[in-house]
Amino acid sequence: MKGLRKYLTPFAPDQSGAVGVLYELGGIVVIVDAGGCAGNICGFDEPRWRTQKSAVFSAGLRDMDAILGRDDRLVSKLAHAAEKLEARFAAVVGTPVPAVIGTDYRALKRMAEKKTGLPVLAIDTNGMEWFDVGEEKAYLALFQTFARESLPVQPGKIGVLGCTPLSMSDLNAGTKLEAMLTAQGWDKVCCYGMGCGLEAIQAASSAEKNLVVSPSGLKAAEYLKKKFGTPYEAADPLAAELLGTLDVTGKTVLVTAQQVRGNALREELLHRGAKGVTVSTWFMKKKEWEQPGDVLLTEEDQYQELVEQGGFDVILGDSALFSMVKQWNGERLALPDFAVSGRLME
């Protein structure tokens, strides 16, 4: 039955993705909810919440706020907070409640900007899409708002798009990428949203190149290319090491991961002698990056059928997925996928 889940809990939603991109940038982030969505984000989807403070708040909506559409109260609360907190911008992040009552985000943005004097991002997430959709919206809004000046290109500077705990399942992904890219000869590495702040976003036009490590960064990369001519490529330099010493010589493999990681794993598996590799994903599947036979997953029984009838020797993916195919006898390699199970890399 479409939408029915018997094994998997729902994946990280779009509002979590949006907050994840904005988390380290020093803004006031308001989740337009009653409290439950903020609880989900802070208590589960944002692992940095436990160790790194950020001005992420719930709007604390109550039934009459929603029924009467009292956006002015939300703006007033935001303005009060802006008076008391040190913030360089504000963001309002949507949830199912504003989606149901049809909140006008453009109006909300204008009202909030006028009242607070801060730039305001309005991210129209609705809690019904997955995290990557929210990340994509947040990245785009950020660069459109803050990367306005065309600066001279700094040779040796690379920007990284799409690196968040949800996309990379690793709290150290930013540092690892920085070390890896520095070793490759890049002088300055800017992991937008994971390790560098708002200044780096403002100076994005000076990057020589952008690296897109997950599909959520693609639209922003396209925007930066169009606006400033910054070229980009898609790659996940961290993927290969996830395979350890896995021997796949002559074997057919099913990979389930976000698409850029999945493609990077495919490349490495074929390099190690795999006979064939199919990449499947629960999240965005960009046409420009897909290969024939790649699969967009939406339902549990679709995954079960793919594994049981696909003739694979090895499956790679979050261990939560394996609970759906207990009877299947092939080899499994667990790759934590935070957006699926909430498990991070060790």
**Cβ at position 327, least distance to another protein in Å:** 15
Q: Which is nearer to another protein, 47 or 310 (by Cβ)?
A: 47
Which residue, 73 or 209, has its beta carbon nearer to another protein? 73
DSSP-assigned beta bridge partners for residue 111: none
How far apart CA 192 and CA 300 sit, in angstroms, is 33
Least Cβ distance, residue 65 to another protein (angstroms): 8
* Residue 114 backbone phi and psi in degrees, to 5: -65, -40
CB nearer another protein, residue 5 or residue 106: 5
**Rounded least distance, CB 79 to another protein, Å:** 10
- Closest separation in Å from C-beta 68 to another protein: 12
334: left (phi over 0), alpha (psi -120 to 50) or beta: beta
Residue 52, burial from CB neighbour count under 10 angstroms (0-12, 13-18, 19+): exposed
Q: Write out the H or E segment, with its range, that includes residue 195.
A: none
Residue with smaller CB distance to another protein, 44 or 322: 44
Closest approach, Cβ 320 to another protein, in A, equals 8
CB of 302 to another protein, least distance (A): 14
Task: Report the interface residues with another protein, using CB under 8 A.
Answer: 1, 3-6, 9-16, 28, 30, 33-40, 42-45, 49-50, 53, 55, 57-63, 66-67, 77-78, 80-81, 83-86, 95-97, 99-101, 126-128, 130, 341-342
Q: Quote the CA–CA distance of 236 and 234 in Å, as a whole number.
A: 7
Q: Which helix (H) or strand (E) holds 87?
A: none
Nearer to another protein, 65 or 294 (CB): 65
DSSP track, 204-257: GGG-SEEEE-SGGGHHHHHHHHHHH---EEE--TTSGGGGTT---TT-EEEEES
Q: What is the DSSP string of 246-298?
A: ---TT-EEEEES-HHHHHHHHHHHHHTT-SEEEEEESS---GGG--TT-EE--
Query: Residue 124 or 178: which CB sits closer to another protein?
Result: 124
List residues bridging with 161 in a β-sheet.
212
DSSP character for 80?
H
CB of 64 to another protein, least distance (A): 9
Give the residue with the Cβ less far from another protein, 92 or 204. Answer: 92
- Tell the smallest beta-carbon distance from residue 191 to another protein (Å): 24
- Residues 121/87, Cβ–Cβ less than 8 Å: no
Tell me whether residue 16 or residue 230 sits nearer to another protein (CB atom): 16
